[in-house]
Chains A and B, each alone.
Chain A
Amino acid sequence: MHRLSSHGSRAQPLHGMWDLPGPGHKPVSPASAGGFSTTAPPDIGKKLPLKLVMICNNLINYTSETDIDDRYGDLDSRTDSDIPEIPPSSDRTPEILKKALSGLSSRWKNWWIRGILTLTMISLFFLIIYMGSFMLMLLVLGIQVKCFHEIITIGYRVYRSYDLPWFRTLSWYFLLCVNYFFYGETVADYFATFVQREEQLQFLIRYHRFISFALYLAGFCMFVLSLVKKHYRLQFYMFAWTHVTLLITVTQSHLVIQNLFEGMIWFLVPISSVICNDITAYLFGFFFGRTPLIKLSPKKTWEGFIGGFFSTVIFGFIAAYVLSKYQYFVCPVEYRSDVNSFVTECEPSELFQLQSYSLPPILKALLRRETVSLYPFQIHSIALSTFASLIGPFGGFFASGFKRAFKIKDFANTIPGHGGIMDRFDCQYLMATFVHVYITSFIRGPNPSKVLQQLLVLQPEQQLNVYKTLKTHLIEKGILQPTLKV
């Protein structure tokens, strides 16, 4: 299709859009070069004057009645280089840091800010782990909402649809519905005992799917009713954008929470593997990097990739060894009604008990030992770390491609020096699903709490029948001792 390439050749050269801003260097925006009247940066609060100016410009410039749709919608048909860049947001580094680092040159200053923020995030992470599973769950929920917000905001800016009727309300409403549905499905299983006591909760659980569906339908009907004549296409785009964002962020975060309930180690080891891979790949690339890896991310190198792979596997192996010793990390989370809180106490499963493995001859000669005692979980951790280093980066490339496609440098500016929350979590994207699939396929069978919950929902006669069947089975297997008649 020659049309596509001919567009590209007419584009103006974009100077240094991907360079980090050095001293006194501002990224050039084709918008200002081309004479668009950008009187104000498009911060949310100052959006209105810019939009009015643009609309007035366009109204004066042509007489035919065209949908506003076509003007904005046609953005899609052009190639990337024609689209004006969204100017970077203001610098949000706290004043304290700025004063402390004022003496250094700009490049080192950047490095220091990144470093300090990294350490801050890691310590925050440790603090929350200390506080327990419930806090972790709230943290995951908070991150999910923030990621959703960031991606939706990008959608608004791309389509300049901030003022579409109802749309902001509908996006948040859909987020609420989907979260309600997922939390009902997962959390209700784990709180079976708590839920049994309250009558209203019982009703909500029994008809959960119906209620969630009704809520979603209400949102859907509101969307259809809110379709406005000149903005059909924009509204459909935002509808689709919201749904894809929900698919990405909400499903992942709920899988993370399910992994968390399986045992905190299933949450910590994967996430730290990805973080470790990020950091070690960066360091290896910094010191030894020579061959570029992929055009999407010019800063990534093969040396970094391979070095990161080996360091992550070793790190995962050691971390698994350290964490497997503690019940706090290894036991599934349970809600005890007597204590009214979450407890992590149990008999650790075989996966977390030291076992002797005989070494293959090569390693025998190397290490001069016959056997080695390992936790079986460490073998699994090798699989998890391998995935984190080989496939995890694809999530990062996906996010890089996304940022290039929409000409943004970072998803948002929440964390100074690092960008938005989404920037930090893009590699985690596929990890959560992988761990969940791994657990369900290789580690455990069906979820016991779910089986119990479904049993409790049956009709009383069915329950009695099932009870009798189970009793016979358990007595046969010798798990249950037959009761003695007194």
Chain B
Amino acid sequence: MTELRQRMAREPDAPPEDKESEAEAKADGETASDSESRVEAVTLPTSVDDTPEVLNRALSNLSSRWKNWWVRGILTLAMIAFFFIIIYLGPMVLMMIVMCVQIKCFHEIITIGYNVYHSYDLPWFRTLSWYFLLCVNYFFYGETVTDYFFTLVQREEPLRILSKYHRFISFTLYLTGFCMFVLSLVKKHYRLQFYMFGWTHVTLLIVVTQSHLVIHNLFEGMIWFIVPISCVICNDIMAYMFGFFFGRTPLIKLSYVMSGYRCFVCPVEYNNDTNSFTVDCEPSDLFRLQEYNIPGVIQSVIGWKTVRMYPFQIHSIALSTFASLIGPFGGFFASGFKRAFKIKDFANTIPGHGGIMDRFDCQYLMATFVNVYIASFIRGPNPSKLVQQFLTLRPDQQLHIFNMLKSHLTDKGMLTAATEDE
């Protein structure tokens, strides 16, 4: 928050100049000095250099340009190594990392909002923003957790009640925040407060929904989490160096390698007996090697008749195409945002790279795409979950659905008199 303190130190200087110019401004529209002082106040000063001392000393003899390159390079490798370590640690840790990244991104964007609107001291507002973040997270975690940890939840009495009335509880929590907001409206600052309210909600919409979709994908199987994220990172790096075509080939290889291992491919499940998460299953068809006939044209080029691939690799081509074509729009959106509010980086968390949001802006749409892709093309609704839902319905509703299903199956010819009697 060093930049904020620097700004506040300059604040007392600004008002005296404004006083004289304001009087003129009222008389004949805005004057040059008026808008100039405003521009000056709006532009955020460049942040302090956060590079650790170690690196500073090690690279002290290089010129500034190469130093920057080296700092970026070293931090990139550090982040990638960190990523691998976390993958090794397992899905729970990944889930917590995703949550931390989400909180940090939220914090960065909200801080920008404070700086833009000079609203750091608005009454209650900081509390309310964090409170809304908490509410929305509670709601989303409740929805996901109940689905995946059904057995665990049913066992514990307090958890069962919380899960049964989950929506009502979340709504009440949100309402409390809403009423607090309305009660906190202060006479001279209505517009600012509404802007910050809107800003908080849009940020929540962007940051929190994306992170929960990422966690959904993670629970499908770690491969659905790792491959898209690596797609985007790879695309970023390759586009920076060579242009976007080269981003795709390493990924097809990566998905080939990863499809062989159960720990990446199996959905995360909560095992009731061992009381922990297991990633053990019979891999689905998607992750079993199959023979594909190569079309005639390529046959003559490569000289093979068939090739053995995992069907998942074909899906990974779709994922990487999306990452290279549409992913950059997320980056352009963030660049436009930075130019609009005249900031160079979202924050200064990672030396040489800017804030966490800077690293994750291209990921923005990827998580939603993967989630929609899985829901539409990979798996349908979960049959056992449907049976559970069916069992909670009223008897007349159950009968009605049963009859509809029966007529549907009979129409399709799946159900004949013979199978009926089994």
Contact = CB atoms under 8 A, between A and B. Distances in A.
Given A36-B29, A437-B171, A477-B395, A77 B401 contact: no
A369 interface: no
A464 B414 contact: yes
Interface of A: 1-6, 8, 10, 12, 34-36, 54, 57-58, 61-64, 66, 69-71, 73-74, 76-77, 79-81, 83, 192-193, 196, 206-207, 209-210, 213, 217, 220-221, 223-224, 227, 232-233, 235-236, 240-241, 243-244, 247, 294-296, 347, 391, 394, 397-398, 401-402, 404-406, 430, 433-434, 437-438, 440-442, 445-446, 448, 451-452, 454-460, 462-471, 473-474, 477, 479-480, 483, 485
Contacts of B402: 467, 470-471, 474, 480
B406 interface: yes
Contacts of A193: 404
Given A474-B398, A483-B420, A430 B405 contact: no
Nearest to A397: B182
A480 B399 contact: yes
Contact of B182 (A221, A394, A471): A394
B30 A71 contact: yes
Nearest to B34: A62
B387 interface: yes
A199 B26 CA distance: 66
Interface in B368-391: 368-369, 372-373, 375-377, 380-381, 383, 386-387, 389-391
19 contacts: A4-B188, A63-B32, A76-B192, A210-B377, A235-B336, A235-B340, A394-B179, A394-B182, A406-B191, A452-B405, A454-B381, A455-B381, A457-B380, A458-B383, A463-B405, A463-B414, A466-B405, A470-B405, A471-B402
Interface residues of B, number: 100
Interface centre among A5, A227, A468, A485 (most CB of B within 10 A): A227
Nearest to B337: A236
B409 A463 contact: yes
Nearest to B179: A394
A463 B409 CA distance: 8
Given A74-B38, A74-B42, A451-B393, 16 more contacts: A35-B28, A61-B29, A61-B31, A64-B35, A70-B39, A79-B189, A223-B333, A398-B181, A404-B190, A405-B190, A455-B401, A458-B383, A459-B380, A464-B414, A470-B398, A474-B399
Nearest to A450: B389
Nearest to A387: B175
A227 B332 CA distance: 10
Most chain A CB neighbours (cut-off 10 Å) among B178, B406, B408: B408
B188 A62 contact: no
Contacts of B193: 401, 405
B329 A247 contact: no
A473 B395 CA distance: 11
